Every structure is written in C-alpha cells, then in structure tokens.
Structure 1
Amino acid sequence: MSELRINETSADHSTERQTSEVRSKALLAQTAARKLASVSTDKKNAALLKMADVLVSERDSLIEANREDLERGRSQGTSESLLDRLMLSGERIASIADALRLVADLPDPTGRTLERFERPNGLRIEKISVPLGVIGIVYEARPNVTVDAAALCLKTGNAVVLRGGSAALSTNRRIAQVLREALAGTEVPPDALQLIEDASRSSVDEMLKLNGLLDVIIPRGGRSLIQNVVLNSTVPVIETGAGVCHTYIDESARPDMAASIALNAKVQRPSVCNSMETLIVHADYARRELRGLADALLERGVELRGDEQTRSLVAEAKPASEEDYATEYNDYILNIRIVNDLDEALAHVSRYGTKHSEAIVTESDVNAVRFLNEIDAAAVYHNASTRFTDGFEFGFGAEIGISTQKLHARGPMGLPALTSSKYVVRGTGQIRP
C-alpha cells in the first residue's frame, strides 16, 4: 500500500512538472478569483492606489526594461509608429498611474441589485451584478494595456491572465512584477494578476482552449490576432475589432471644421485603433477644398493614396487599391475616396468598415441623421473626430478595449462590461409542487 502511495505521489509530481505555464497560471488565477470575489470595494481601491504609487516609484526600472524592448524592436526593423505604441517615458508612466487612480475613484459595478421582486409563493428574488470570474486577455505591443487591464479586472473582482506580444515582453514582465509586489501588502491576492511570459504562438493557442479555467477571452490588437482568437477559441470571446475608421466630408461641411476634424482623426495619434484610415469626400466639396486639405495632411507627413478623381485633384496621391481601403495602417498613411452622394459614402463604409468608429462632417441634419442611423458601428459621430472612441473620453476610466460585436458589450468597454449577473433567491421552505 505504501509503495502504491509513493508511486501515485510521484506521478502527481510528474504531472505538476509537465503542467504548462499557461495552465498553471490560469489555475492560480482561478483560485485567486474566488478570494477576490469577497474583497470589499474599499480594499480593492486601496490596492489600486498602491499599484499606482509603486508604478511611479519604480519608474526607472520600468523604463530600463522598456529600453530592452525598444532596442530589440529597432534592430528588427519595427516601424516608428509601433515603437511609439511600445515606448514608456516618465510622463507616460505618470499618466498610466493616474489612470489607475481614476479607476479607483469610479463606482464599483459589482454587487449592485439590478432587479428585485417577490413571487406569489413568497420567494424573494434578486438579480445582482457579479464578476465574470477569470478573464484572459491577448494583446499586442502597448504596455499600458497591461496596467489598464489589471486595473479594470481587479476593480470588478475578476482575476486576469495576460498574454502580451513578444515586442513588449521585457516591459510587461517588469510591470507585472511591480504590480504583484504592490498587491502583496493588500487584501487583493497577487495571484489574481498573471502574465504569460511564453511568447510563442502555442501559448495563445492553449489559452483559447482553457474552458473551465478562463471564463472569457478578450483579444486586443490587429485584425489577424483578433480573427485567430475569434475563429479558434472554445472559450467565450468578447470581440474587439480592428479600426478601419472613416470620416465622410459632406457637400455642406464647413471647411474649417472639416479640416480640423480630419487632421485630428489622422495625425493626432495615428498608431491607435480609432484614428482615421480613409477620408471620404463629396465630389463638390472635393473640387473646392480637397487641394488645401491635402496640403495640410502632406505638411504633417501623411502619405496620401486615392482613387482616380482624387489623383486628378492631388497629384501627390498614389493609387489606392482594394487592399488599401481595407487596411488598418496605424501609420501616417491615408486613403481618400471621392463620392457623388451620401449613398455612395454609406456603401463604401459598409463594404470596408470594421464596425468601429465612423464620422460625418455636415451641416445637413437630414444627412447626419441618415448616417448616424444607417451606419453599423460601435460609435458614430456627427461633426466630431473618431479619436474620441475611448474609455477615458467617454468618462468610463481606463478601457479593456473597443468591442465591435453586439452581444454583452459594444464600444469602449469600461467596468460594467466586465460583470455578469446572478439570481439570489431567498425562501422560507418553499418546494415546487
């Protein structure tokens, strides 16, 4: 009997040694999630504030780790726009810490009574908001996502398993170490925050099959990453979409407003998903104003690509292909398409858009209403830049991503999007006849 027990124990240890990083960390997160569900809002907020303070105090070590990623990226020929997304500075770290503090100040959406009613048999039923459980997040090169995701998940009582891109591995590793060290002195279990350090494709593939350990997966990144997760995951997915965003300048648009919005949507920060990739212009407006707007874009280093009508008005524009109109550049490249009316503009957005953010600049209320009603996107704008599709700008605090699907959550996903609900039923001995 003792020999059998020894053999069984040896087999158990062998299994433990063979357990992958992904599964072992997901198991730790699942255990932590049960504990985290009972932590009060005040204690969660205290943990977030400590995380913010430690990020600032560890600024130098974070920048040093980030420097490793930047140097490796430059040696591999990474574009400047992607390096910009990857880069940390003292100012950016301070901003990330401020975002943590803002999340701490936001209302906790968990534990709220959504409905309350009593049945004729005396059963008292409450529907309450609860954490989702363990959230897996697969993302690419922006290290601020590591902090934003941790903050939003922990605030809502969710454990989180993060798998960032290889381009930011050193930065993300150090960020996770710093945040877990900060949590060690709080009521929030450090194991509620896990970072997968295996940068191979297989680690993502394994996460997608962790049914029973992960409750949901949220992908953040380019089209190929998102599609891989959506098509291959057996774990439920909240889809965040690529941002092939459009701005349509209607015939009646005010030139000063149209130019200001278009420039902001393209050049304020072209590396992010809510920046404009295609400018659609009414033909009458284009004949009057496109040359001047093109000059302003060219002065800011934007490469222009367009259809034949565009190129007849802007000689510097290169030919735009079908592939160009479907591309999320995240760079100083802009497609231009000239249309004869609103119907053509709507058809173009319907064909090439990714249901993220779309804008119309017009003084026509009729055209504005049609655009806002007929465009199928998470956010639609009248006379404003698509760059506002953002959790901070919407007043949600940090966001987990921009959902482009229609179930559970859509648009910037703040704290409420990371909750589910359950029914609490209280009785006095009732049984069903």
Structure 2
Amino acid sequence: MTKPLAGLFKARQREAPAPGPYARSLRLCGEYLAAQDPGAAGATGPQVRLTRAIGAFAASLDGPAADPFDALLQVGERALEVGGEHGLGLALGLAESAAGIRRRSKGAWRLRGLALDGLGRDPEALECYERYAALLPDGRPAPEVARRTDTLRRRRECLEAAVALFPGEGAELRELLGEPTATTAVLAPRFDSWVRARVAGHGPGDPAVRRLLALYGSYRRLDLRDRVPDPLLGGTTPVDVGGLRALVAGRTVCVVANAGDVSGSALGAGIDGYDLVVRCDSFRLRAEGTGGRTDLHAVTLRGDTPWDGPAWTQRAGIRLVFGDPVAGWRRAVRERIAPGAQDHVGDASLRRPLSDPALLGEDGWGAAPTTAFTVLRLLDFLDASPRLDLVGFTPAGRLRPREAEWVERHATHVDDSKMRIALR
C-alpha cells in the first residue's frame, strides 16, 4: 500500500503550485503599500478594503483552512476599486500570478482583462476577456464584461476600417495598430492627428473623408462610453416623482438595514409581510432573517467614476439611483442598469431628492447622506404610504447623527425586540 500512496502524494505535489507565484504576489502587495503616502494611506473606503484584503491574503498563506488563491483574487478585486496607475498595476501583477497558478481560472482571466482594460491596453484586455468567456460553461460573461468586450471590438473595427479607406496613407497608424501593447493613451491622439490630416489633404467633401468622419465619431463615442446593447433596458419603464408616488400609494413600506444582526435574526417573515420592501446599496438575502423580496432597490453613486462599478443585477421592482452631477448619473444608469433586472427605474427628477429644490430642497445633510436616509426621507415626503418603518436601524450608528436625530423626532413607535422604528 505504501507505493500507491507515495505515487498519489507525488502526483498531488506536481499539481500543486510552487510557492513562487504567491511569494511574488505578496512582494507586489508589499511594494504597493510601501509606495503609499503615509498621510493618505487608508483615507478612503477602497484603500481600507484593499489593505484589509492584503492582510487576509498574507494570513491565508500560513492558514490551514483558508485558500490563498481566493484571497489573492480578492486583493486584485480591491485593487481594481482603488484604480489609478498603481492600483491597476497591482491588480494586473496579481492577475498574472493567479493565471500562472491556475491557467483555467475564470476569475484570474477576468481580473487580468479588467486591469488591462483600465490601463488602456485594449488588444490584451480583449484577449483576456475572450479567454474568460471561453472558460464559462455557457460562454456568457458577466454583463459588464460583455459590454466591454463588445466596445473594444467595435473600437478596433472603427480604427481598421478608417485605415482601410486610405491604404497608401496609413502606414504609421497601421503599424501602431499591430502593436499588441499599444495603449489607448498613445493610439487615440495619433488617430486624431491622422484624421485631421486626411480632412486637410482631401477636403471634407471627399466621400472617403465623410466615411472617415463617421467612423471617427463612432470611435470617440465608444471611447467615452460603452455601447448600450438594449437602450430600452429589457422593457424597464422610467418613472418620475409622480410615477413613484403612484407606485407606493396605499402600500405598507419598510426600509431594511444591511446589518449582520438582521441577517442573523428571525425577522424575515415579518419583513416579507410588508407590501413594499426597500433595500439599499449592496445587500445579501437570507430569507429567514432579511426576507426574500426586494420591491425597491435604492443605490447612491460614489466616487469619481461611478459608472465603472458592477451592474445592478439583483432583481427589484423599482430601482432608484441617487447621484450628482447629472452627466455621471446618466452614464452610470446607462452602463450599470441590467436589462430585465427591474420593472421601473427612477428618472433624473429623482436623482438627488434631498437637495433638489423641485423636491425637498433641504440643506444640511452633508455631501454624502446615507442611501437609507435619502430613500426614507423621499418616501416620507411623498406621504403616500399608510405605514413607513425602518427595520434594523437600532441601535443607533447606522445613520449619520443628524439623520438619526430626524428619525428620532419623527418616530411614532420603537420596538427594540423587532429592531423596528415606525414613522407612521
């Protein structure tokens, strides 16, 4: 029996990854942290999450139960959230290590594609996205990856078609297109100059120039935003303030906190007993504790590029997206709303209800009020529901101090045993 077992152990040792890629990944994390400004480190949510993920990864390398590979991918995901040249560079380095450890890892190829995409290395990103899709059982990637794959392909097609219009005059641009490591930051201005030169040399009336300008316009639009595969969002109906009021009129409403004690409770049946269940931002469902329905999902856009976040694929009857300025809000709604994942979506009249003078027009809530308070205050203002409750917002601390004071002043009943605050 000794020889077969010895052979089995040897086979497993051959399959197991060498410590090298993990050691390299840990070194990359250390170099990233060492390069951070001590005064700014940990100042933002994404940076804090990245630092914690690095700690969990380091601990997993010597933990018998944890999986270092999953922890490695988690650090890469957090590095993508941080963004910038350093964050994306770290994500790419970790993705390359992960792909070296497990060549058929879907997560590794997805992470690598997203990092390369963020760095503007389009051809390499497209190749990684295609490898990721090929590893999926149905070949259908996540919506945000599918959109980026389609956008990168169409941008490439625009460039190739443009060069083909003037076969004798595009040698330099054609050569640049052939370089797999050419970045968008290098390629886009070269394309701009080449187009201007063709217009100056041939005149705007030339049929080839007119076609070139159409391709250039398509390229620039795709450079600014992804193509929308379904402009109607799977039949989603936009609603304004009046439309939202009609949807909630006469219905009992509860706003549920994303808290561990709610998930671990037995409040699920009571939550599902409301006519309209409201959840905020990112949430997880555990039917026994949180209930299983989401009738209204409210989310607040954060950061400088809120359109880069994952698509909102959780099923909801109504989805309200809060954010400012309007250009970023429109782009985020266009790129992150998943077709068919909601029946109604709030229009621009509902994007900033607290500060909009056409609605509440209230000052003093700060630059970033919590999503829960924003949707609660909006529903209270509409005054269309016979019952409006907060569930899971006791004890205090889950709302900003001024928000909590407002709730305390307007509460008609507080039931700590059910973590419920009634406003009417």
The verdict on a shared fold, with TM-score over 0.5 as the criterion, is no
Larger radius of gyration between Structure 1 and Structure 2: 2
Higher strand share: 1
Between Structure 1 and Structure 2, the one with more helix by share is 2
Name the TM-score, length of structure 2 as normaliser: 0.27
Q: Which has the higher contact order (CA 8 A, sep 6+)?
A: 1
